[in-house]
């Protein structure tokens, strides 16, 4: 009997299975795949790294880890940090809400005004919870980001219409140009989330008198979505961190944003195979460009 190494046994186990089975190493690189799994995944070349999102989209595939389960300490650290950040962000509107309710009991208090402010704090907490849950759905693969191609014009128009009142109150002018026939490789809901989050970010931070333009073009390299404003802009040191969860530049720390909008945009765009980058200078506005593969 020939003694085989653990790697050889793992490879033989995966390749001989009748069911869709893949064997991964501790870095999530493909060691072996059954014929059924290779057919479902489309490509099963050894060494290919399979993300959690890709596997979550194929729940019928059984995943076996050779040698060890992927290192969890970094994931656990990230999860603990995210939980702590959510807890911190929720405390802020809840603390303000408590102060407002206590103030409403004082003699001579303007109860109507305080109640209106309290409603705004409740809405802030609700938006944060909704964003956290949505980001969780994206990361666990329960929302398929890219499914076919979506005509951009109707979605962009609907997104701007939804934000028109908010933009008017903020004194930010909205406009859009979508190249005829332009399509983006996102589900309609995902595309609307991207556009609304980018435009809402401009409305919230650009400042009175600013203009925000949404442009969808389709150059040779692939379709591009650009949202640019000519408002306050962002300091150079803050630009690389704009897509981090809960990160806010100095001018935005007192805002009522959830701090997750741009993180959600990045997750959706990259999940669809695209890239997203931000460019800005103080008092020269912010431009966010999302590029998608053809």
Helix (H/G/I), strand (E/B), else coil: 153? helix
Q: Indicate if the pLDDT at residue 80 is higher than 60.
A: no
Q: Which residues does 86 contact at the CB level (< 8 Å), separation at least 6?
A: 128, 132
Average pLDDT score over residue span 206-227:
90
pLDDT tens-digit series, residues 233-277: 888 888 888 887 666 554 444 455 556 778 888 888 888 888 999
- Distance between CA atoms of residues 294 and 274, nearest Å: 10
Contacts for 139-144: CB closer than 8 Å, 24+ residues apart: 139/52, 139/53, 139/267, 140/52, 140/56, 141/52, 141/53, 141/55, 141/56, 141/57, 142/56, 143/190, 144/57, 144/187
Give the CATH number for residue 195. Answer: 3.30.565.10
Length of the chain: 294
**163 lies in the same domain as 286:** yes
What integer pLDDT is reported at residue 71 of this predicted model? Answer: 47
- Mean pLDDT for all residues in the chain: 76
Contact present, 134 and 264 (Cβ < 8 Å): yes
Q: Sorting pLDDT into bands at 50, 70 and 90, what band is 9?
A: low
**182 lies in the same domain as 253:** yes
Q: Indicate if the pLDDT at residue 195 is higher than 90.
A: yes
Q: Sorting pLDDT into bands at 50, 70 and 90, what band is 177?
A: very high
**214 lies in the same domain as 169:** yes
pTM for this prediction: 0.56
**158 lies in the same domain as 285:** yes
| Number of domains the chain is built from | 3
Residue among 184, 197, 185 nearest 146 (CA):
185
**285 lies in the same domain as 173:** yes
Does 144 reside within a domain?
no
Give the lowest-confidence range in 56-70, 156-170, 248-262, 265-279: 248-262
Q: Sorting pLDDT into bands at 50, 70 and 90, what band is 1?
A: very low
Q: Which residues does 196 contact at the CB level (< 8 Å), separation at least 6?
A: 159, 162, 163
Q: Indicate if the pLDDT at residue 7 is higher than 80.
A: no
Question: Tokens 């208090």 map to which residue?
Answer: 109
């Amino acid at each position: 009997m020939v003694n085989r190494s653990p790697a050889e046994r793992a490879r033989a186990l995966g390749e001989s299975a009748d069911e869709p089975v893949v064997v991964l190493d501790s870095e999530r690189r493909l060691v072996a795949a059954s014929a059924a799994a290779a057919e479902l995944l489309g490509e099963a070349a050894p060494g290919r790294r399979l993300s959690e999102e890709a596997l979550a989209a194929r729940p019928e595939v059984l995943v076996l880890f050779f040698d060890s389960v992927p290192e969890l300490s970094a994931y656990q650290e990230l999860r603990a940090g995210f939980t702590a950040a959510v807890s911190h962000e929720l405390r802020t509107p809840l603390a303000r809400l408590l102060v407002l309710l206590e103030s409403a009991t004082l003699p001579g208090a303007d109860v109507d005004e305080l109640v209106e402010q309290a409603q705004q704090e409740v809405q802030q907490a609700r938006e944060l919870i909704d964003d956290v849950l949505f980001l969780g759905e994206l990361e666990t693969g329960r929302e398929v980001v890219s499914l076919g191609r979506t005509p951009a014009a109707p979605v962009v128009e609907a997104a701007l219409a939804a934000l028109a009142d908010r933009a008017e109150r903020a004194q930010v002018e909205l406009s859009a140009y979508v190249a005829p026939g332009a399509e983006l490789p996102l589900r309609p809901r995902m595309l609307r989330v991207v556009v609304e989050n980018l435009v809402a970010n401009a409305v919230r931070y650009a400042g009175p008198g600013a203009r925000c333009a949404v442009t969808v073009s389709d150059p040779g390299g692939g379709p591009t979505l650009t949202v640019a404003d000519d408002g306050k802009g962002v300091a150079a040191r803050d630009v690389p961190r704009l897509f981090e969860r809960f990160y806010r530049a100095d001018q935005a720390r007192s805002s009522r944003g959830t701090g997750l909008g741009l993180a959600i945009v990045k997750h959706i765009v990259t999940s669809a195979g695209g890239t997203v980058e931000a460019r800005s200078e103080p008092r020269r506005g912010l431009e966010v460009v999302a590029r998608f593969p053809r």
